[in-house]
Chains A and B, each alone.
Chain A
Amino acid sequence: MRTRLVTVLLALITAILVIPGPVASADEQGGEALHGRILNPDNRDQGVEGIVITVYGGEDEIGAAETDSDGMWEVELPEPGTYRVVVDQESVPSEFVVREGLIVDGETEVEVEADDRRPLIVALERQGASDDTTASPSEEETRDQDSGAGDEEAFQPTTGGGSSFGDRFVQLSAAGLLFGLVIAVSAIGLSLIFGTTKLINFAHGDMVTFGAMMALVFSSGAVGLGNSLLAIFAGLAGAVLIGGLLESRLSRPVLIVAQWASIVGGIALATVLGLMGEAVGWQVPLWVAAALAVVMGAVLGASMERYVWRPLRHRNVALIQMFIVSIGLALVLRHVVLVLFGAGRSRYAGFQIQDLVRFGPVSMAPRDLVIMAVAVVVLVGVACLLQFTRIGKAMRAVSDNRDLAESSGIDVDRVTLYVWGLGGGLAALGGVLYGLNQVVEYEMGFRLLLLMFAAVILGGLGTAYGAMVGGLAVGLVAMLSTLWFPSQLMQAWALALMILMLLVRPQGLLGRRERVG
């Protein structure tokens, strides 16, 4: 192997050396340039369009650029040197001004060296923001929330600056309860999967995103893409069902052929539907779309278990390697979603502007009440499932001790399949609830993943009830921390709570005391 490798490297080096001159110019990155991105100070994930930037060398105009819809601009320069950059104040939207600092009166000088594609930062701020930054800190705080910190504006109470501490405390507790319920719904699957397979599923966050995206697609009018996805998942579901239900009745070759036929059939149907495109457009209300998304999430989880994790387990792949595989799957899933649906942020239509309902000191939008009701019903349902049904008892048994469960006659592989299905479905539901409260975008799940981890560790890795308790605690802590601290640190406090728990009681609130080190 190593000799082959060296040969390849040598061949490559030789090839590079003998490539004649013209190639050298073909691969040039193209000399000097200035570029940058102008961001909206209210929402730093969005650019500001239409700002004109002109570059002068001495007295001559070298080039000008206008920011595109993402706020990006670029000016090519002829040679290294010192340039004067002018931001056209007229083209800046009237509610913003260019922040003074590096740039004075919209002008600055930059030195560009050879082959340097230099970024230039042009920061905007709200008109008059520099005058009264201290005057209204609470207002400043809500405005500064960017999506990276979790975009929690929907959770922010709509009380004015004059409300008392008690009112804000109650209001934030309600918001925290809501957030906690959403986290709990999403995190149960993570905890159960860890319990049954000892695998930390880093792809769980992206299963959440997947659910939210699917509900968005179907509720906003599924065209070719939605139909195709539905067909593919129907094929996968068929294959998993055939594999799960008929395993003992059919011979192995027939089983494999039947599964492949189902998958290929699904893909063929997807292609046909994709070609027909918008001709078969349809639209369902959000609750139907959510149900569809939950089913698809369950299929996604079950087929991941059936076609990725079970073969890997049977190959005796070590657990560390499995973590890494789950990170790989997360990357694939997230970026496939990104390619299919784009990086835009969208909301479920029709639920955004609602009159608040007041209960004493707490006021909430009706959609938030629905979210809480759904979450509570689902959590109680899952608890009943785990406590009273056969399969639920089997899940807890496998979670407790896999080998013991297997030796007492439980079909562990099948239970694991159900756990993945349940986890996937709950993750998708959590995504829909989270998206309903906030926005749907391709990274929402990954951001929630860290809080889910905190919830699961807090409650005790591997226990379903622990995930519920931990989720509520994490949601409350995150929200209540904004009473005293900047809201960007919400996640940090939740994670600090997790680390504290690791120091004091590593097995978590509901975990059984065992050696974990």
Chain B
Amino acid sequence: MDIISILAESTRSALGPIAAIYALAAIGLNFHFGYTGLLNFGQVGFMLMGAYGVGVSVAVFELPLLVGFGVGLLCAFVMALLLGIPTLRLRADYLAITTIATAEVLRLVYRAGFAEPLTGGVYGLQNLSAGFREINPFDAGARYGFGPLAYNGNHLWVLVVTWSLVLLMVGLTWMLMHSPWGRVIKGIREDEDAVRSLGKNVFAYKMQVLVLGGLIGALAGGMLAVYQASIQPDQFRPQVTFFLWVILLLGGAGRVFGPVLGAMAFWFLMTFTDGVLRGMGSLGWLPFLSGPDFGAIQLAFVGVLLVLLIVFRPQGLIGDRKEMLINVK
């Protein structure tokens, strides 16, 4: 087991496109939970909307990529409205149940047999990134970078675009949260009734946040489709949402850079545990386990991490403990 190369590989994945995509989706979740206190357990549903918006437009209707992103964002917008209208007036736990259920139903509908002409059913869609690669300024064949941190041209292009989007959204978060709008939002998190008594329309503010965070999630889903060039519905399992929650809580909810840092730390840890487990497996230290079990152990590890974080460090790496003492009423 080569610990240095495992560390190098972990760093590579911490900076890689997947980490950037998860950071983007977690920024959306940060709007929901970190700043407003909305319990959205269905962020993956928004990602699915974005990914299939790109996928169906590009692969089935052969529209340009930008139109695909537009369609994805529009779908996410509609979905946020439909989700929010019945649940945002109720207690936070209703939103939690409804979102997790909606995301799972969306996955089931998209993989169902009758949707196959449009979504490709369980097989998904492919050949999605030709349009994106056409405008690639880097040479697709060459490798860029140094040491272990080298990426080929296409991946570097995805990397640059996604991390730029992340920075853009971080900037947006900072600006919004230092505006009067952001203060109202944080007020809703702290004490909804107080904000209501100041004459603010809490429902409208919550709806704006749900839509905004959902759109950012859809953007992440679109980038995922572009990066992988193919999508399958089973990628959008509820686990993805739980990963996003770990990322958010690891980094620090309610912090501008929390999701970014969390995504990097999370993917570093994931690749690291995977490498260590596989290394130990190949050395014969884990006699009872075989290849597929490592993935399951990793997910169990995510669960343990989630529990330990909440119990011992609810504010995450850079959060403020006082801000995390919010409660549902």
Interface residues of A (CB under 8 A from B): 1-2, 5, 12, 15-17, 19, 21, 23-24, 26-27, 39, 44, 80, 113-116, 118-119, 121, 123, 140, 144, 146, 148-149, 200, 312, 315, 317-321, 323-325, 327-336, 338-339, 343, 446, 450, 453-454, 457, 461, 486, 488-489, 491-492, 495, 498-499, 502-503, 506, 516-517
Contacts and interface: CB of A to CB of B under 8 A. Distances in A.
Contacts of B155: 115
Main SS of the interface on chain B? helix
A503 B91 CA distance: 13
B141 A114 contact: yes
Contacts of B149: 16
B108 A492 contact: yes
A24 B94 contact: no
A24 B229 CA distance: 26
Interface of B: 2, 4-5, 7-9, 11-12, 33, 37, 39, 41, 85-87, 89-94, 96-98, 100-102, 104-105, 107-109, 111-114, 120, 122-124, 126, 140-141, 143, 146-150, 152-155, 229-230, 234, 238-239, 242, 245, 249, 289, 292-293, 296-297, 299-300, 302-307, 310-311, 314, 317-318, 324-328
22 contacts: A5-B317, A12-B7, A12-B11, A16-B147, A19-B8, A24-B8, A116-B154, A121-B123, A140-B113, A312-B311, A318-B327, A320-B37, A320-B328, A324-B310, A332-B303, A339-B293, A450-B104, A453-B97, A461-B93, A489-B112, A498-B101, A517-B90
B53 to A, nearest CB: 20
A331 B300 contact: yes
B223 to A, nearest CB: 17
A338 to B, nearest CB: 4
Given A323-B39, A331-B242, A200 B93 contact: yes
Contact of A80 (B39, B141, B305): B141
Contacts of B11: 12, 16
Contacts of A319: 93, 327-328
Nearest to A318: B327
Contacts of A27: 5, 8-9, 12, 148
A129 to B, nearest CB: 11
Given A2-B318, A17-B147, A331-B299, A324 B141 contact: no
Contacts, number: 211
Contact of B8 (A16, A114, A115): A16
A329 B96 contact: no
Contacts of A23: 2, 4-5, 8, 147-148
Nearest to A21: B147
Contact of A339 (B124, B242, B297): B297
Contacts of B292: 343
Contact of A330 (B109, B120, B303): B303
A325 B122 contact: no
A24 B2 CA distance: 12
Q: Which 10 A-B pairs have the closest CB atoms?
A: A331-B303, A328-B306, A488-B112, A144-B113, A332-B303, A335-B300, A328-B307, A335-B296, A318-B327, A338-B296
Chain A CB count within 10 A is highest, among B107, B113, B242, B249, for B113
Given A318-B326, A320-B326, 4 more contacts: A115-B152, A328-B305, A495-B101, A517-B90
